[in-house]
Amino acid sequence: MNTSAGRPSVLFVCVHNAGRSQMAAAFLTHLAGDRVQVRSAGSAPADTVNLAVVEAMSEAGIDISAEIPKVLTAEAVHASDVVVTMGCGDTCPVFPGKRYLDWALPDPAGQGVHAVRSVRDEIERRIRGLLDEIAPVRRT
């Protein structure tokens, strides 16, 4: 894997960058620390992160209340080793040599925190698997 500064980089993309991609980026940042460079973006970013998502992540011990949805750029895709899409369809630019994963996950938009919890837990499960692949902890 081509890495910047010796560490892999992952970009999470969904339409509004207000739910799924924010949760995925927060979990990877939380679990990987500085072993992975993490980005998230949306093809049509919302003004704010979904409040039910903020609450669900807070229950998991991760504060994303200060996060702001960001617009997806070709530069962000180009700078990433792995691009994980979540419902953005054909709006994500594709570059050769990048690894693309498409995670079919329910959109938490308009859902209460109860519905968001199952999406959060599935994202955490997938993040743990991805982290084991791209930046496993080396035990001596």
Over the stretch 77-101, which tens digit does the pLDDT of each residue have? 999 999 999 976 666 667 788 999 9
Q: Which residues are catalytically annotated?
A: 14, 88, 92
Distance, CA of 41 to chain centre = 8
Look at residue 2 in the predicted model and tell me its pLDDT: 44
Look at residue 94 in the predicted model and tell me its pLDDT: 76
End-to-end CA distance of the chain: 23
Look at residue 97 in the predicted model and tell me its pLDDT: 84
Rounded CA gap, 57 and 127, in Å?
14
Determine contact, residues 55/28, Cβ cutoff 8 Å.
no
| All domains in the chain, ordered by first residue | 9-134 (3.40.50.2300)
pLDDT in tens, 14-57: 999 999 999 999 999 999 999 999 999 998 999 999 999 999 99
Look at residue 90 in the predicted model and tell me its pLDDT: 65
